[in-house]
Amino acid sequence: MSNKEKESIQLLQGTLDLIVLRTLATMGPQHAYQIATRLQQISDRLLNLNQGTLYPALVRLEQYGWIKGNWGRTESNREAKYYEITKAGQKALGEETQTWRRMSALVERLLLEES
Amino acid sequence: MERLRRFFLKLYLLFANSKVEAELAREIGAHLALLEDEYVRQGMTPEEARRAAKLAYGGVEQAKQRHRDERTFQGPSQIPQDIRYTFRQLRKSPGFTVTAVLMLALGIGATTAVFSIVEGVLLRPLPFPDPDRLVTLGDVLEGSHCASCAHSSVTAPDIRNYMRDAQSFSHLGGYRGRLFELSGPGDPAAVNGTRMSGEVFAALGVQPLLGRTFTQQEDEEGQQVAVLSYGMWRSRFHGDANVLGGQDPSLSQALHRDRRDAARFRVSAQPWACEPERVLASAQPPAGGIYGGQCGVVELSHGGALKARHHRRAGAERCGASGPGYDARLSGLHAQSSYSRGGDAAA
Protein backbone atom coordinates (compact mmCIF):
# COMPACT_ATOMS: atom_id res chain seq x y z
CA MET A 1 0.00 0.00 0.00
CA SER A 2 1.43 3.38 -0.93
CA ASN A 3 1.64 6.27 1.46
CA LYS A 4 -0.93 8.17 -0.49
CA GLU A 5 -3.53 5.48 -0.05
CA LYS A 6 -2.78 5.14 3.62
CA GLU A 7 -3.47 8.78 4.14
CA SER A 8 -6.68 8.78 2.18
CA ILE A 9 -9.74 9.46 4.28
CA GLN A 10 -13.25 8.12 4.22
CA LEU A 11 -15.97 10.56 3.43
CA LEU A 12 -18.16 11.43 6.39
CA GLN A 13 -21.73 10.33 6.11
CA GLY A 14 -23.84 13.06 4.53
CA THR A 15 -20.95 15.29 3.54
CA LEU A 16 -21.00 14.14 -0.07
CA ASP A 17 -24.34 15.88 -0.60
CA LEU A 18 -22.91 19.12 0.67
CA ILE A 19 -19.83 18.81 -1.49
CA VAL A 20 -21.82 18.09 -4.64
CA LEU A 21 -24.19 20.98 -3.99
CA ARG A 22 -21.33 23.33 -3.35
CA THR A 23 -19.51 22.21 -6.49
CA LEU A 24 -22.60 22.77 -8.64
CA ALA A 25 -23.27 26.14 -7.00
CA THR A 26 -19.79 27.46 -7.73
CA MET A 27 -19.05 25.73 -11.04
CA GLY A 28 -22.45 25.83 -12.74
CA PRO A 29 -23.94 22.78 -14.50
CA GLN A 30 -21.62 19.80 -14.39
CA HIS A 31 -21.79 16.18 -15.38
CA ALA A 32 -20.86 13.37 -13.01
CA TYR A 33 -17.40 12.95 -14.43
CA GLN A 34 -16.65 16.65 -13.98
CA ILE A 35 -17.92 16.60 -10.44
CA ALA A 36 -15.76 13.59 -9.65
CA THR A 37 -12.70 15.18 -11.21
CA ARG A 38 -13.31 18.40 -9.34
CA LEU A 39 -13.68 16.47 -6.10
CA GLN A 40 -10.34 14.78 -6.63
CA GLN A 41 -8.69 18.08 -7.48
CA ILE A 42 -9.82 19.99 -4.45
CA SER A 43 -9.25 17.10 -2.10
CA ASP A 44 -5.73 16.82 -3.42
CA ARG A 45 -6.47 13.13 -3.98
CA LEU A 46 -6.95 12.61 -0.30
CA LEU A 47 -10.46 11.38 -0.86
CA ASN A 48 -10.28 7.81 -2.00
CA LEU A 49 -13.49 7.90 -3.94
CA ASN A 50 -14.63 5.71 -6.79
CA GLN A 51 -16.40 7.87 -9.31
CA GLY A 52 -19.42 5.55 -9.19
CA THR A 53 -19.91 6.53 -5.56
CA LEU A 54 -21.31 9.83 -6.75
CA TYR A 55 -24.39 8.36 -8.34
CA PRO A 56 -26.37 7.58 -5.22
CA ALA A 57 -25.77 11.13 -4.00
CA LEU A 58 -26.87 12.53 -7.35
CA VAL A 59 -30.12 10.56 -7.43
CA ARG A 60 -30.82 11.47 -3.81
CA LEU A 61 -30.30 15.18 -4.42
CA GLU A 62 -32.38 14.99 -7.57
CA GLN A 63 -35.21 13.35 -5.67
CA TYR A 64 -35.06 16.07 -3.04
CA GLY A 65 -35.46 18.52 -5.88
CA TRP A 66 -32.17 20.23 -5.06
CA ILE A 67 -30.51 19.46 -8.38
CA LYS A 68 -31.86 18.81 -11.83
CA GLY A 69 -30.31 16.67 -14.55
CA ASN A 70 -30.46 17.35 -18.29
CA TRP A 71 -28.77 15.59 -21.15
CA GLY A 72 -26.32 17.64 -23.11
CA ARG A 73 -23.11 17.45 -25.14
CA THR A 74 -19.55 17.93 -23.95
CA GLU A 75 -16.91 19.93 -25.78
CA SER A 76 -15.64 16.69 -27.25
CA ASN A 77 -19.15 16.05 -28.49
CA ARG A 78 -19.84 13.21 -26.10
CA GLU A 79 -23.25 13.00 -24.55
CA ALA A 80 -23.45 13.57 -20.82
CA LYS A 81 -26.02 14.34 -18.19
CA TYR A 82 -25.47 17.78 -16.78
CA TYR A 83 -26.61 18.51 -13.27
CA GLU A 84 -27.68 21.96 -12.22
CA ILE A 85 -28.47 23.28 -8.78
CA THR A 86 -32.06 24.46 -8.31
CA LYS A 87 -33.46 27.29 -6.19
CA ALA A 88 -34.43 24.82 -3.50
CA GLY A 89 -30.92 23.45 -3.80
CA GLN A 90 -29.40 26.87 -3.17
CA LYS A 91 -31.49 27.23 -0.07
CA ALA A 92 -30.61 23.76 1.12
CA LEU A 93 -26.95 24.44 0.49
CA GLY A 94 -27.13 27.46 2.78
CA GLU A 95 -28.73 25.45 5.53
CA GLU A 96 -26.41 22.49 5.13
CA THR A 97 -23.41 24.79 5.20
CA GLN A 98 -24.60 26.32 8.45
CA THR A 99 -25.11 22.90 9.94
CA TRP A 100 -21.72 21.77 8.82
CA ARG A 101 -20.00 24.84 10.25
CA ARG A 102 -21.69 24.40 13.60
CA MET A 103 -20.83 20.74 13.64
CA SER A 104 -17.20 21.13 12.69
CA ALA A 105 -16.76 24.04 15.10
CA LEU A 106 -18.15 21.88 17.87
CA VAL A 107 -15.79 19.02 17.08
CA GLU A 108 -12.91 21.43 16.76
CA ARG A 109 -13.66 22.96 20.14
CA LEU A 110 -13.91 19.54 21.67
CA LEU A 111 -10.57 18.52 20.23
CA LEU A 112 -8.93 21.71 21.49
CA GLU A 113 -10.18 21.16 24.99
CA GLU A 114 -9.04 17.56 24.98
CA SER A 115 -5.52 18.38 23.93
CA MET B 1 -41.22 18.75 2.20
CA GLU B 2 -38.20 17.33 0.35
CA ARG B 3 -38.60 14.11 2.25
CA LEU B 4 -42.21 13.83 1.18
CA ARG B 5 -41.32 14.57 -2.41
CA ARG B 6 -38.60 11.97 -2.28
CA PHE B 7 -40.92 9.40 -0.71
CA PHE B 8 -43.42 9.72 -3.53
CA LEU B 9 -40.70 9.64 -6.14
CA LYS B 10 -39.31 6.47 -4.66
CA LEU B 11 -42.77 5.01 -4.67
CA TYR B 12 -43.27 6.02 -8.29
CA LEU B 13 -39.94 4.56 -9.32
CA LEU B 14 -41.05 1.15 -8.14
CA PHE B 15 -43.18 1.11 -11.27
CA ALA B 16 -40.99 3.06 -13.67
CA ASN B 17 -37.92 0.99 -13.02
CA SER B 18 -36.93 0.00 -16.54
CA LYS B 19 -36.90 3.58 -17.78
CA VAL B 20 -34.66 4.77 -14.97
CA GLU B 21 -32.45 1.73 -15.31
CA ALA B 22 -31.90 2.50 -19.01
CA GLU B 23 -31.14 6.13 -18.21
CA LEU B 24 -28.65 5.08 -15.56
CA ALA B 25 -26.89 2.70 -17.96
CA ARG B 26 -26.69 5.52 -20.49
CA GLU B 27 -25.26 7.89 -17.92
CA ILE B 28 -22.65 5.42 -16.73
CA GLY B 29 -21.72 4.65 -20.32
CA ALA B 30 -21.22 8.34 -21.00
CA HIS B 31 -19.15 8.70 -17.86
CA LEU B 32 -16.89 5.81 -18.84
CA ALA B 33 -16.50 7.21 -22.34
CA LEU B 34 -15.36 10.53 -20.92
CA LEU B 35 -12.90 8.78 -18.64
CA GLU B 36 -11.56 6.76 -21.57
CA ASP B 37 -11.11 9.91 -23.62
CA GLU B 38 -9.12 11.39 -20.81
CA TYR B 39 -6.85 8.36 -20.48
CA VAL B 40 -6.32 8.20 -24.22
CA ARG B 41 -5.31 11.83 -24.14
CA GLN B 42 -2.80 10.95 -21.46
CA GLY B 43 -1.25 8.53 -23.94
CA MET B 44 -2.83 5.16 -23.21
CA THR B 45 -3.96 2.76 -25.90
CA PRO B 46 -7.76 2.47 -26.18
CA GLU B 47 -7.59 -0.97 -24.58
CA GLU B 48 -5.64 0.30 -21.59
CA ALA B 49 -7.84 3.35 -21.39
CA ARG B 50 -10.96 1.20 -21.13
CA ARG B 51 -9.45 -0.82 -18.29
CA ALA B 52 -8.23 2.27 -16.48
CA ALA B 53 -11.63 3.94 -16.87
CA LYS B 54 -13.37 0.98 -15.30
CA LEU B 55 -10.86 0.95 -12.50
CA ALA B 56 -11.34 4.63 -11.80
CA TYR B 57 -15.07 4.32 -11.93
CA GLY B 58 -15.18 1.41 -9.52
CA GLY B 59 -17.52 -1.53 -9.96
CA VAL B 60 -20.25 -0.66 -12.43
CA GLU B 61 -22.65 -3.21 -10.99
CA GLN B 62 -22.00 -2.01 -7.44
CA ALA B 63 -22.64 1.58 -8.50
CA LYS B 64 -25.87 0.53 -10.17
CA GLN B 65 -26.97 -1.37 -7.08
CA ARG B 66 -26.20 1.59 -4.83
CA HIS B 67 -28.16 3.77 -7.20
CA ARG B 68 -31.11 1.36 -6.98
CA ASP B 69 -30.88 1.26 -3.19
CA GLU B 70 -30.93 5.01 -3.12
CA ARG B 71 -33.61 5.79 -5.64
CA THR B 72 -36.37 3.42 -4.62
CA PHE B 73 -37.59 1.02 -1.99
CA GLN B 74 -35.68 -2.15 -2.41
CA GLY B 75 -38.09 -4.46 -0.60
CA PRO B 76 -40.65 -5.24 -3.32
CA SER B 77 -38.31 -5.64 -6.25
CA GLN B 78 -36.00 -7.91 -4.29
CA ILE B 79 -38.68 -10.34 -3.20
CA PRO B 80 -38.34 -12.79 -6.13
CA GLN B 81 -34.57 -12.76 -5.69
CA ASP B 82 -34.93 -13.44 -1.98
CA ILE B 83 -37.32 -16.30 -2.63
CA ARG B 84 -34.95 -17.92 -5.11
CA TYR B 85 -32.10 -17.53 -2.67
CA THR B 86 -34.17 -19.05 0.13
CA PHE B 87 -35.05 -22.12 -1.90
CA ARG B 88 -31.44 -22.57 -2.92
CA GLN B 89 -30.36 -22.48 0.70
CA LEU B 90 -33.13 -24.84 1.76
CA ARG B 91 -32.12 -27.35 -0.92
CA LYS B 92 -28.57 -27.16 0.27
CA SER B 93 -29.38 -28.23 3.84
CA PRO B 94 -32.18 -30.80 3.76
CA GLY B 95 -31.83 -31.65 7.46
CA PHE B 96 -32.56 -28.11 8.48
CA THR B 97 -35.34 -27.87 5.92
CA VAL B 98 -37.08 -30.99 7.19
CA THR B 99 -36.83 -29.79 10.79
CA ALA B 100 -38.13 -26.35 9.94
CA VAL B 101 -41.01 -27.70 7.87
CA LEU B 102 -41.95 -30.19 10.56
CA MET B 103 -41.92 -27.52 13.24
CA LEU B 104 -44.02 -25.23 11.11
CA ALA B 105 -46.44 -28.05 10.33
CA LEU B 106 -46.75 -28.98 13.98
CA GLY B 107 -47.20 -25.39 15.04
CA ILE B 108 -49.81 -24.64 12.42
CA GLY B 109 -51.58 -27.91 13.09
CA ALA B 110 -51.67 -27.34 16.83
CA THR B 111 -52.96 -23.79 16.57
CA THR B 112 -55.54 -24.83 14.00
CA ALA B 113 -56.73 -27.66 16.23
CA VAL B 114 -57.00 -25.39 19.25
CA PHE B 115 -58.81 -22.78 17.23
CA SER B 116 -61.23 -25.35 15.84
CA ILE B 117 -62.09 -26.47 19.34
CA VAL B 118 -62.46 -22.95 20.65
CA GLU B 119 -64.48 -21.96 17.62
CA GLY B 120 -66.78 -24.96 17.88
CA VAL B 121 -67.22 -24.89 21.61
CA LEU B 122 -67.07 -21.23 22.55
CA LEU B 123 -67.52 -19.02 19.54
CA ARG B 124 -70.00 -20.62 17.19
CA PRO B 125 -73.55 -20.07 18.36
CA LEU B 126 -75.71 -23.09 18.97
CA PRO B 127 -77.60 -24.17 15.85
CA PHE B 128 -80.93 -22.97 17.14
CA PRO B 129 -82.94 -19.90 16.17
CA ASP B 130 -82.58 -18.15 19.52
CA PRO B 131 -79.53 -19.59 21.21
CA ASP B 132 -79.17 -16.75 23.70
CA ARG B 133 -82.56 -17.38 25.17
CA LEU B 134 -82.03 -21.06 25.76
CA VAL B 135 -81.13 -21.93 29.32
CA THR B 136 -80.89 -25.00 31.45
CA LEU B 137 -82.44 -25.10 34.84
CA GLY B 138 -81.19 -27.06 37.78
CA ASP B 139 -82.19 -27.40 41.42
CA VAL B 140 -79.52 -26.65 43.93
CA LEU B 141 -79.69 -27.20 47.64
CA GLU B 142 -79.96 -23.81 49.21
CA GLY B 143 -76.77 -22.62 50.81
CA SER B 144 -74.58 -25.14 49.01
CA HIS B 145 -71.74 -23.50 47.18
CA CYS B 146 -70.46 -26.31 45.07
CA ALA B 147 -68.49 -25.83 41.90
CA SER B 148 -70.63 -28.23 39.92
CA CYS B 149 -73.88 -26.47 40.81
CA ALA B 150 -73.91 -24.83 37.42
CA HIS B 151 -74.58 -28.25 35.98
CA SER B 152 -77.11 -29.43 38.47
CA SER B 153 -80.32 -31.11 37.41
CA VAL B 154 -83.97 -31.53 38.26
CA THR B 155 -85.73 -34.75 39.11
CA ALA B 156 -88.40 -36.09 36.77
CA PRO B 157 -91.39 -35.31 38.99
CA ASP B 158 -90.08 -31.82 39.44
CA ILE B 159 -89.84 -31.39 35.71
CA ARG B 160 -93.55 -32.02 35.52
CA ASN B 161 -94.12 -29.59 38.35
CA TYR B 162 -92.07 -26.95 36.64
CA MET B 163 -93.92 -27.51 33.42
CA ARG B 164 -97.18 -27.11 35.21
CA ASP B 165 -96.34 -24.16 37.39
CA ALA B 166 -93.53 -22.05 35.97
CA GLN B 167 -94.75 -19.27 33.69
CA SER B 168 -91.65 -17.34 32.84
CA PHE B 169 -90.76 -19.67 30.03
CA SER B 170 -92.24 -20.08 26.60
CA HIS B 171 -91.38 -23.74 26.62
CA LEU B 172 -89.98 -26.04 29.19
CA GLY B 173 -89.05 -29.68 28.87
CA GLY B 174 -86.82 -32.36 30.32
CA TYR B 175 -84.07 -34.41 28.77
CA ARG B 176 -81.73 -37.08 29.88
CA GLY B 177 -78.82 -38.76 28.14
CA ARG B 178 -79.27 -42.48 27.80
CA LEU B 179 -77.76 -45.41 25.99
CA PHE B 180 -80.05 -47.23 23.56
CA GLU B 181 -79.67 -50.34 21.51
CA LEU B 182 -80.68 -50.10 17.93
CA SER B 183 -81.22 -53.36 16.11
CA GLY B 184 -82.94 -54.60 13.00
CA PRO B 185 -81.19 -55.37 9.77
CA GLY B 186 -77.45 -55.03 10.17
CA ASP B 187 -75.53 -55.24 13.38
CA PRO B 188 -77.19 -54.02 16.51
CA ALA B 189 -75.54 -50.89 17.74
CA ALA B 190 -75.43 -49.00 20.96
CA VAL B 191 -76.32 -45.41 20.40
CA ASN B 192 -76.11 -42.38 22.60
CA GLY B 193 -79.64 -41.18 22.77
CA THR B 194 -81.57 -38.68 24.75
CA ARG B 195 -84.83 -39.34 26.44
CA MET B 196 -86.73 -36.11 26.25
CA SER B 197 -90.13 -34.66 26.68
CA GLY B 198 -92.04 -33.25 23.73
CA GLU B 199 -91.64 -29.64 24.74
CA VAL B 200 -87.89 -29.69 24.23
CA PHE B 201 -88.26 -29.41 20.47
CA ALA B 202 -90.54 -26.44 20.85
CA ALA B 203 -88.06 -24.88 23.25
CA LEU B 204 -85.16 -25.37 20.85
CA GLY B 205 -87.28 -24.11 17.98
CA VAL B 206 -86.01 -26.72 15.53
CA GLN B 207 -87.82 -28.41 12.71
CA PRO B 208 -86.91 -31.85 11.40
CA LEU B 209 -85.60 -32.27 7.89
CA LEU B 210 -88.10 -35.06 7.30
CA GLY B 211 -91.28 -35.97 9.12
CA ARG B 212 -91.97 -34.35 12.45
CA THR B 213 -90.95 -34.25 16.05
CA PHE B 214 -93.21 -35.58 18.76
CA THR B 215 -95.54 -33.53 20.86
CA GLN B 216 -95.91 -33.25 24.56
CA GLN B 217 -99.20 -35.04 24.29
CA GLU B 218 -97.66 -38.00 22.53
CA ASP B 219 -95.01 -38.02 25.19
CA GLU B 220 -97.57 -38.18 27.94
CA GLU B 221 -99.55 -40.87 26.16
CA GLY B 222 -96.45 -42.98 25.92
CA GLN B 223 -96.32 -43.09 22.13
CA GLN B 224 -93.27 -44.78 20.68
CA VAL B 225 -91.66 -42.05 18.65
CA ALA B 226 -88.02 -41.39 17.88
CA VAL B 227 -86.19 -38.60 16.18
CA LEU B 228 -83.01 -39.57 14.41
CA SER B 229 -79.96 -37.40 14.29
CA TYR B 230 -78.86 -36.37 10.84
CA GLY B 231 -75.61 -38.28 11.20
CA MET B 232 -77.36 -41.47 12.16
CA TRP B 233 -79.91 -41.06 9.41
CA ARG B 234 -77.09 -40.78 6.91
CA SER B 235 -74.88 -43.54 8.23
CA ARG B 236 -77.30 -46.15 9.47
CA PHE B 237 -80.24 -45.52 7.17
CA HIS B 238 -78.25 -44.30 4.19
CA GLY B 239 -80.22 -41.08 4.04
CA ASP B 240 -83.31 -43.00 2.99
CA ALA B 241 -86.32 -40.72 2.76
CA ASN B 242 -88.66 -43.71 3.23
CA VAL B 243 -87.38 -44.26 6.71
CA LEU B 244 -90.42 -42.42 8.02
CA GLY B 245 -93.68 -43.88 9.16
CA GLY B 246 -92.90 -46.87 11.30
CA GLN B 247 -94.02 -49.41 8.68
CA ASP B 248 -90.43 -50.15 7.98
CA PRO B 249 -89.89 -53.49 9.71
CA SER B 250 -86.23 -52.76 10.25
CA LEU B 251 -87.12 -50.12 12.74
CA SER B 252 -89.95 -51.74 14.52
CA GLN B 253 -87.94 -54.09 16.58
CA ALA B 254 -85.67 -52.31 18.87
CA LEU B 255 -85.40 -49.10 20.66
CA HIS B 256 -84.26 -49.63 24.18
CA ARG B 257 -81.73 -51.73 25.79
CA ASP B 258 -84.62 -52.88 27.88
CA ARG B 259 -86.52 -55.07 25.43
CA ARG B 260 -89.79 -54.55 27.24
CA ASP B 261 -89.93 -51.14 25.69
CA ALA B 262 -89.30 -52.37 22.22
CA ALA B 263 -92.12 -51.25 20.04
CA ARG B 264 -92.94 -49.71 16.75
CA PHE B 265 -91.89 -46.16 16.57
CA ARG B 266 -91.97 -43.48 14.01
CA VAL B 267 -88.84 -41.91 12.79
CA SER B 268 -88.06 -38.50 11.64
CA ALA B 269 -84.67 -37.19 10.81
CA GLN B 270 -83.27 -33.79 11.44
CA PRO B 271 -79.90 -32.23 11.25
CA TRP B 272 -78.63 -32.45 14.77
CA ALA B 273 -75.47 -30.52 14.48
CA CYS B 274 -72.33 -31.57 16.32
CA GLU B 275 -73.81 -34.75 17.69
CA PRO B 276 -73.35 -37.46 15.15
CA GLU B 277 -74.81 -40.52 16.76
CA ARG B 278 -77.62 -39.18 18.77
CA VAL B 279 -81.11 -40.59 18.63
CA LEU B 280 -83.64 -38.52 20.37
CA ALA B 281 -86.19 -40.95 21.55
CA SER B 282 -89.28 -40.77 23.55
CA ALA B 283 -90.94 -43.88 24.79
CA GLN B 284 -92.53 -43.33 28.13
CA PRO B 285 -93.49 -40.34 30.12
CA PRO B 286 -91.37 -40.02 33.20
CA ALA B 287 -92.85 -42.21 35.87
CA GLY B 288 -93.24 -40.33 39.10
CA GLY B 289 -90.43 -40.49 41.50
CA ILE B 290 -88.34 -43.28 40.11
CA TYR B 291 -86.80 -41.39 37.26
CA GLY B 292 -84.39 -39.38 39.34
CA GLY B 293 -80.79 -38.80 38.50
CA GLN B 294 -79.53 -36.58 35.78
CA CYS B 295 -82.52 -34.71 34.52
CA GLY B 296 -82.10 -31.30 33.04
CA VAL B 297 -84.66 -28.86 31.83
CA VAL B 298 -84.43 -26.87 28.68
CA GLU B 299 -86.49 -23.80 28.29
CA LEU B 300 -86.84 -20.70 26.30
CA SER B 301 -87.19 -17.64 28.38
CA HIS B 302 -89.96 -15.20 27.68
CA GLY B 303 -88.63 -11.73 27.55
CA GLY B 304 -85.49 -10.98 25.59
CA ALA B 305 -82.40 -10.99 27.70
CA LEU B 306 -81.94 -13.67 30.24
CA LYS B 307 -82.47 -12.57 33.79
CA ALA B 308 -81.42 -15.49 35.85
CA ARG B 309 -82.51 -14.09 39.16
CA HIS B 310 -85.98 -13.33 37.94
CA HIS B 311 -86.41 -16.77 36.48
CA ARG B 312 -85.05 -18.43 39.52
CA ARG B 313 -87.62 -16.65 41.62
CA ALA B 314 -90.34 -17.51 39.21
CA GLY B 315 -89.35 -21.11 39.19
CA ALA B 316 -88.90 -21.42 42.90
CA GLU B 317 -92.05 -19.58 43.82
CA ARG B 318 -94.30 -21.42 41.51
CA CYS B 319 -92.78 -24.72 42.13
CA GLY B 320 -93.88 -25.92 45.50
CA ALA B 321 -92.97 -29.47 44.69
CA SER B 322 -89.38 -28.55 44.29
CA GLY B 323 -89.72 -27.98 47.95
CA PRO B 324 -88.35 -25.44 50.32
CA GLY B 325 -84.62 -25.61 50.61
CA TYR B 326 -84.11 -25.84 46.86
CA ASP B 327 -83.15 -23.06 44.59
CA ALA B 328 -83.61 -23.16 40.86
CA ARG B 329 -80.47 -22.24 38.96
CA LEU B 330 -80.35 -21.17 35.36
CA SER B 331 -77.37 -21.30 33.08
CA GLY B 332 -77.03 -20.66 29.40
CA LEU B 333 -77.38 -23.72 27.24
CA HIS B 334 -74.28 -22.76 25.38
CA ALA B 335 -72.12 -23.05 28.48
CA GLN B 336 -73.87 -26.27 29.32
CA SER B 337 -73.25 -27.80 25.94
CA SER B 338 -69.62 -26.74 25.99
CA TYR B 339 -69.32 -28.61 29.20
CA SER B 340 -70.98 -31.78 28.03
CA ARG B 341 -70.00 -31.98 24.44
CA GLY B 342 -66.71 -33.59 25.23
CA GLY B 343 -68.40 -36.68 26.59
CA ASP B 344 -70.66 -37.04 23.60
CA ALA B 345 -68.60 -39.48 21.64
CA ALA B 346 -70.42 -41.82 19.37
CA ALA B 347 -71.13 -45.16 20.92
pLDDT in tens, B206-218: 777 777 777 777 7
Would you place residue A90 in the very low, low, confident or very high pLDDT band (cuts 50, 70, 90)?
Answer: very high
Q: Which residue of A has its CA nearest to B41?
A: A76
Among A80-94, B13-27, B184-198, the range with the most confident prediction by mean pLDDT is: A80-94
* Mean pLDDT (chain B, rounded): 67
Q: Give the pLDDT score at B82.
A: 83
Q: Which of B5, B34, B37 is the closest to A64 by Cβ? A: B5
> pLDDT at position A102, please?
93
Query: Which of B10, B31, B55 to mutate against chain A (most A CBs within 10 Å)?
Result: B31
pLDDT at B328: 59
pLDDT tier, B203 (very low <50, low <70, confident <90, very high otherwise): confident
pLDDT band at A24 (very low <50, low <70, confident <90, very high): very high
Shortest distance between the Cα of B80 and any Cα of chain A, in A, equals 24
Which of A1-5, A25-29, B64-68, B169-173 has the highest average model confidence (pLDDT)?
A: A25-29
The band of B145, judged by pLDDT with boundaries at 50, 70 and 90, is: low
3-class secondary structure for chain B? CHHHHHHHHHHHHCCCHHHHHHHHHHHHHHHHHHHHHHHHHCCCCHHHHHHHHHHHHCCHHHHHHHHHHHHCCHHHHHHHHHHHHHHHHHHHCHHHHHHHHHHHHHHHHHHHHHHHHHHHHHHCCCCCCCHHHEEEEEEEECCCCCHHHHHCCCCHHHHHHHHHHCCCEEEEEEEEEEEEEECCCCCCEEEEEEEECCHHHHHHCCCCCCCCCCCHHHHHHCCCEEEEEHHHHHHHCCCCHHHCCCCCHHHCCCCCCCHHHCCCCEEEEECCCCCCCEEEEECCCCCCCCCCCCCEEEEEECCCCCCHHHHHHHHHHHCHHHCCCEEEEEEEHHHHHHHHHCCCCCC
Interface test with B, best of A17, A35, A63 (most B CBs within 10 A): A63
Taking the CA of residue A74 and the nearest CA in chain B, the distance in Å comes to 9
**Whether pLDDT at B271 is above 60:** no
Q: Is the pLDDT of residue B253 over 50?
A: no
In this complex, do A63 and B60 lie within 8 Å of one another by their Cβ atoms? no
Are A51 and B56 within 8 A, CB to CB?
A: yes
The pLDDT of residue B183: 64
More confident residue, B153 or B280: B153
Q: Per the CB < 8 Å rule, is A80 touching B58?
A: no
Low-confidence winner among B161-165, B180-184, B277-281, B321-325 (lowest mean pLDDT): B277-281
State residue B105's pLDDT score: 97
Most confident of A79-83, B235-239, B252-256: A79-83
Pick the residue from chain A with its C-alpha nearest to B56.
A50
Is the pLDDT at B269 greater than 70, yes or no? no
- At residue B97 the predicted structure's pLDDT band, cuts being 50, 70 and 90, is very high
**Residue of B65, B33, B188, B331 whose CA lies nearest to A74:** B33
Q: What pLDDT, on a 0 to 100 scale, did the predictor assign at position B149?
A: 55
Q: Which among B2, B24, B34 is the nearest to A64, CB-wise?
A: B2
pLDDT at position B276 is 27
Q: How confident is the model at residue B316 (pLDDT cuts 50, 70, 90)?
A: very low
Q: Is A2 on the interface with B (CB under 8 A)?
A: no
Choose among B10, B33, B60: nearest Cβ to A52.
B60
Per-residue pLDDT reduced to its tens digit, B20-58? 888 899 999 998 998 899 899 998 888 999 998 888 888
